Chain A
Amino acid sequence: MKQNLVLIGNGMAGMRTIEELLKLAPEKYNITVFGEEPYGNYNRIMLSPVLANEKTIEEIMLNDEQWYVDNNITLQKGNKVTEIQRGYKKVIAEDGTEVPYDRLIIATGSTSFMLPLPGADKYGVIGFRDINDVDTMVESAQQYKKAVVIGGGLLGLEAANGLMKQGMEVTVVHLMNTLMERQLDAPAGKMLKESLEERGMNFLMDHSTEEILGGDRVTGIRFTNGLEIETDLIVMAVGIKPNIDLAQNASLHCERGIVVSDTMQTFDPNIYSIGECVQHRGAVYGLVAPLFEQAKVAANHLAELGIARYEGTMTSTMLKVTGIDLFSAGDFHGDDETDELLFHDVANGVYKKIVIRDNIIVGTVLYGDTIDGTWYFQMMKDETNISDFRTTVLFGQAHLGDAGHGDETRVAMMADSDEICGCNGVNKGDITSAIVEKKLFTLDEVRAHTKASASCGSCTGLVESLLAHTLGGDYSEAPSKKPLCGCTDYTHDEVRSAIREQGLETHETVRRFLNWKTEDGCPVCRQATNYYLLCEYPDYNDPQSRFINERAHGNIQKDGSYSVVPRMFGGLCTAKDLRAIADVADKYEVPEMKVTGGQRIDMFGIQKEQLPAMWKDLSEAGFVSGHAYGKAMRTCKTCVGDSWCRMGTQDSTGLGVKLEELTWGSWMPHKYKLAVSGCPRNCAEATIKDFGVVCVDSGYEIHIAGNGGIKVRVTDFLVKVDTEEEVMEWCGAFSQLYREDAHYLERTAPWVERVGLQKVKDALATAELRKPFYDRFVVSQKPAQIDPWKKHADGADANEFTPIKV
């Protein structure tokens, strides 16, 4: 027997909960939805673009009426619930309909706060909250000329901009002397005001309204200082008021909003509440991102999984006025204990301010150039220590020489035909139209529908910015925590600590313990979990949860053939080695060979069936696998060093060989490259490697977290040491710290940028701290350095390589 679930409020928060619930437990409830408005569910954050003629109502519909039919949901549209009878567990609507419930969700949202002014009940005085308000504004614009918007906040300015686009003459009245004072400081507010004035918007700052004038319809407005101006329409946008009457009348505990716990339950555990009507840990939210997080939690509990908690959301703000770039988050005023970083270019209209406390970003205001807003916001949420790039952080992420994020071109200024995702050939227009037409909200959805950022991921930041720009300003695209994949709500870090703290030893126990949504997981979480298990238990291996390259110990090519790269320690080789490789190439008729960037030889076009025999020959000639296919330690590039070079200061090749002997075979979160240069001329390019050594006359400089890939990133200097032994110790310890701390598929460069160089330095500061890391690394290397090629040449997993012929 199905239970009854009733939702009061057919808006974004409530319907998101239903959608999340249908994903988790599609058959659990008979669902009835009551909506006051005579529409399906629409995207309320898009009302401003509708008013500004940039979108139509049809374009912002999220769930049309057919959707409710398809999902067996009873929609009571245009029918308002007037009473909740908790004793009888039923709701009663305006038209007398009574529906019993087992579980109830109150998602009544909020209404514009209407100032109780004399004359506020006249025709032509409205709020800005729903389609009805937008209709009124559009109709007024056709008949009348002048409009006043009371409130110079986010909503007020969007309304004013829309009315201006509809052809009205608009005056914004604001009580304070700074626009959007809850999001902007005085300089940014001033810049915003000036650019809106240039567009023709009028302002009356420091003005307080006394009375609304007119007969039946408004004709004017008078302020406390005596000034009177004419107007035909007044939009009140001074704030929102949670709709709590219904809950209050049912004796549910309310303060400013309906008070809920971390599980989104009201004081009656059968009744949930989410969205703008809710007060959680003292906070009331008016943006979309928190609502979506709340919806996930409520759905999780309604599906009786019982594992999710809502812990509040850090929000950021952007203004949805085309052509104005503005971003704000956190505490941007600061106090006695905070520092300000400031960049102000008046002529170009750019203003950036970051407020930091103990080198951690606590707030930011950006005007004119907001491309780095999401980056600052992410660091704010991650509490990244910025001391290492404090002096350049204002110039943005591109200036930092970031790896793995690509060039953050100004996304708003790009043409529709500009390519965003170079791997899959997806341009800006493809993505924006998919977001609008397919109604996508998250990065994962954009990836599924367009493939953008689904391969190498370097354009992820760009796609996220585009998502934010397309969806509209106040949509905060980055959830406060990013789940590992669609199979779970847990993050990389949470999955990892569960494995460590609970001693979980297999994929199955991880998925069961953490209530995975899918039985077998997916390729994303299976590979990540496999790495985390392997890092914890060095002998662990589940071949079916590894990418084919690591299962077949070769690099799969576009035609399904494989490439074979034998290891050459430090790039050194002998005539005998080369002859052995040449013999193998002849024997197996290798169609193409190439010298790689990592100083070894790649043989292409090998069929999978040939691999074990070829490995056997290479193994007998003394070669081991080069791991050119794995998320693993790849190569140690070296220059000639003091054995031959007249500039060399140390034995760079010798040290390179030793480092490669220490680290070869090691499984890593991502590929991992080493280099040793014999002098500061740096011929081995050590300063773009994950772990690079530059020899100097007095010793060895150790550099980390460089990248020569998607975006070149120069290494950070870690330490200078005196002896080769110390280099080896630092190498083992740093490698293990990276292995244990980075997320799967996170290279050293983005990892260090995320956690901060200081954290790495602190973790490895003394020999006592380094030793346990080094020791754990050595233990992990024991099984890793049993050559996988030899093992398979000797017959391991022969099935994998042999087709069945019938």
Chain B
Amino acid sequence: MSNWIEITAINEIPVLGSRVVETGGQRIAIFRGKEDAVFAIKDSCPHKQGPLSQGIMHGTSVTCPLHNWKIDLASGQALGADEGCTNVYDTKIENGMVFLQL
């Protein structure tokens, strides 16, 4: 039941930056790390639903712009002393294009 959707060219996402994908009323943040690691995570912090896409990415995590929660992009888990989790999605890159599995 793999449902891969083509999103955008990898080069359209800044390194250590993100783009927002809107699909069926929900927003998903696509992050690009060093060496073209790509992560997809629900654009909503488990704390107070801050837009994670607007945060600063470092390593494989992102810091929410509203209250500085640090979220692991691979698992969606809050890191450090905070507790919470948000949805993550599978991604892949083929021929320079990013695909997202919903």
Residues of A within 8 A of B (CB): 424, 448-451, 454-455, 518-523, 526-527, 543-545, 547-548, 552, 556, 558, 560, 799, 803-806
Counting from the closest, the 5 A-B pairs by CB-CB distance are A548-B54, A449-B81, A520-B58, A803-B20, A523-B56
Q: Which residue of B lies closest to A454 (CB)?
A: B68
Residue pair B56, A558 in contact (C-beta under 8 Å): no
Residue pair A544, B56 in contact (C-beta under 8 Å): yes
Cβ contacts under 8 Å, A556 to chain B: 51, 54, 65-66
Rounded to whole Å, the gap between the CB of B92 and the closest CB of chain A is 15
Cβ contacts under 8 Å, B100 to chain A: 806
Q: Are A523 and B68 CB-contacts (below 8 A) given A544-B57, A560-B54?
A: yes
Residue pair A522, B7 in contact (C-beta under 8 Å): no
- Alpha-carbon distance A680/B85, docked complex (angstroms): 56
Interface bracket on B: 35 or more
Residues of B within 8 A of A (CB): 5-8, 12-17, 19-23, 27, 30, 33-34, 48-51, 54-59, 63, 65-68, 80-81, 100
Most B CB contacts (10 A, CB to CB) among A522, A543, A804 go to A804
Rounded to whole Å, the gap between the CB of B44 and the closest CB of chain A is 9
Residue pair A548, B55 in contact (C-beta under 8 Å): yes
Cβ contacts under 8 Å, A527 to chain B: 56
Contacting residue for A523 out of B7, B22, B63, CB 8 A? B63
- Known pairs A527-B56, A545-B16, A803-B22 / 17 extra A-B pairs, C-beta < 8 Å: A448-B81, A449-B81, A454-B68, A455-B67, A520-B16, A520-B59, A523-B56, A523-B58, A526-B56, A544-B16, A544-B56, A556-B54, A558-B66, A804-B19, A804-B22, A805-B23, A806-B23
Residue pair B19, A803 in contact (C-beta under 8 Å): yes
Cβ contacts under 8 Å, A806 to chain B: 5-7, 21-23, 100
Residue pair A522, B22 in contact (C-beta under 8 Å): no
- Alpha-carbon distance A448/B34, docked complex (angstroms): 26
Residue pair A560, B58 in contact (C-beta under 8 Å): no
Residue pair B57, A560 in contact (C-beta under 8 Å): no
Rounded to whole Å, the gap between the CB of B67 and the closest CB of chain A is 7
- Alpha-carbon distance A448/B15, docked complex (angstroms): 27
Cβ contacts under 8 Å, A450 to chain B: 81
Between-chain CB contacts (< 8 Å), 13 pairs: A424-B67, A518-B59, A523-B63, A526-B56, A526-B58, A556-B54, A560-B54, A799-B12, A799-B19, A803-B19, A803-B20, A804-B20, A805-B23
- Alpha-carbon distance A544/B80, docked complex (angstroms): 22
Q: Which residue of A lies closest to B60 (CB)?
A: A520
Q: Which residue of A lies closest to B66 (CB)?
A: A558
Contacting residue for B65 out of A451, A454, A544, A548, CB 8 A? A548
Cβ contacts under 8 Å, B15 to chain A: 544
Q: Are A543 and B22 CB-contacts (below 8 A) given A454-B68, A526-B58?
A: no
Q: Which residue of A lies closest to B45 (CB)?
A: A560
Residue pair B67, A522 in contact (C-beta under 8 Å): no
- Alpha-carbon distance A520/B48, docked complex (angstroms): 26
Most A CB contacts (10 A, CB to CB) among B30, B49, B81, B100 go to B81
Cβ contacts under 8 Å, B22 to chain A: 803-806
Cβ contacts under 8 Å, B81 to chain A: 448-451
Q: Are A544 and B66 CB-contacts (below 8 A) given A522-B58, A526-B56, A803-B19?
A: no
- Alpha-carbon distance A803/B55, docked complex (angstroms): 15
Contacting residue for B56 out of A449, A454, A547, A805, CB 8 A? A547
Cβ contacts under 8 Å, A552 to chain B: 54
Q: Which residue of A lies closest to B20 (CB)?
A: A803
- Alpha-carbon distance A448/B21, docked complex (angstroms): 31
- Alpha-carbon distance A545/B14, docked complex (angstroms): 12
- Alpha-carbon distance A302/B19, docked complex (angstroms): 42
- Alpha-carbon distance A804/B20, docked complex (angstroms): 6
Residue pair B7, A804 in contact (C-beta under 8 Å): yes
Contacting residue for A545 out of B20, B54, B55, B56, CB 8 A? B56
Cβ contacts under 8 Å, B21 to chain A: 803-806
Most A CB contacts (10 A, CB to CB) among B13, B20, B50, B67 go to B20
Cβ contacts under 8 Å, A451 to chain B: 67, 81
Residue pair B48, A522 in contact (C-beta under 8 Å): no
Rounded to whole Å, the gap between the CB of A587 and the closest CB of chain B is 23
Cβ contacts under 8 Å, A526 to chain B: 56, 58
Most B CB contacts (10 A, CB to CB) among A547, A799, A806 go to A806
Rounded to whole Å, the gap between the CB of B37 and the closest CB of chain A is 11
Q: Are A519 and B20 CB-contacts (below 8 A) given A448-B80, A560-B50, A799-B12?
A: no
- Alpha-carbon distance A450/B81, docked complex (angstroms): 8
Q: Are A518 and B68 CB-contacts (below 8 A) given A799-B12, A803-B22, A806-B5?
A: no
- Alpha-carbon distance A545/B58, docked complex (angstroms): 9
Rounded to whole Å, the gap between the CB of B8 and the closest CB of chain A is 5
Q: Are A520 and B57 CB-contacts (below 8 A) given A454-B68, A804-B8?
A: yes
Rounded to whole Å, the gap between the CB of A90 and the closest CB of chain B is 40
Cβ contacts under 8 Å, B54 to chain A: 548, 552, 556, 560
Contacting residue for B58 out of A454, A518, A543, A548, CB 8 A? A518
Cβ contacts under 8 Å, A543 to chain B: 14, 17
- Alpha-carbon distance A527/B30, docked complex (angstroms): 22
Q: Which residue of B lies closest to A546 (CB)?
A: B56
- Alpha-carbon distance A201/B98, docked complex (angstroms): 76
- Alpha-carbon distance A526/B7, docked complex (angstroms): 29
Cβ contacts under 8 Å, B17 to chain A: 543-544
Cβ contacts under 8 Å, B58 to chain A: 518, 520-523, 526
Q: Are A522 and B63 CB-contacts (below 8 A) given A448-B81, A449-B81?
A: yes
Residue pair B27, A803 in contact (C-beta under 8 Å): yes
Rounded to whole Å, the gap between the CB of B10 and the closest CB of chain A is 12
- Alpha-carbon distance A274/B6, docked complex (angstroms): 58
Cβ contacts under 8 Å, B27 to chain A: 803
Cβ contacts under 8 Å, A799 to chain B: 12-14, 19
Contacting residue for A544 out of B14, B51, B68, CB 8 A? B14
Most A CB contacts (10 A, CB to CB) among B15, B22, B48, B58 go to B58
Rounded to whole Å, the gap between the CB of A622 and the closest CB of chain B is 29
Q: Which residue of A lies closest to B68 (CB)?
A: A454
Residue pair B80, A520 in contact (C-beta under 8 Å): no
Cβ contacts under 8 Å, B68 to chain A: 454-455, 523
Most A CB contacts (10 A, CB to CB) among B27, B68, B100 go to B68
Q: Which residue of A lies closest to B44 (CB)?
A: A560
Cβ contacts under 8 Å, A558 to chain B: 48, 66
Q: Which residue of B lies closest to A525 (CB)?
A: B58
Q: Are A520 and B65 CB-contacts (below 8 A) given A448-B80, A806-B23?
A: no
Cβ contacts under 8 Å, B6 to chain A: 806
Cβ contacts under 8 Å, B49 to chain A: 560
Rounded to whole Å, the gap between the CB of B34 and the closest CB of chain A is 7
Residue pair B65, A547 in contact (C-beta under 8 Å): yes
Cβ contacts under 8 Å, A521 to chain B: 58
- Alpha-carbon distance A805/B24, docked complex (angstroms): 9
Residue pair B59, A519 in contact (C-beta under 8 Å): yes
- Alpha-carbon distance A803/B22, docked complex (angstroms): 6
Rounded to whole Å, the gap between the CB of A540 and the closest CB of chain B is 16
Rounded to whole Å, the gap between the CB of A543 and the closest CB of chain B is 7
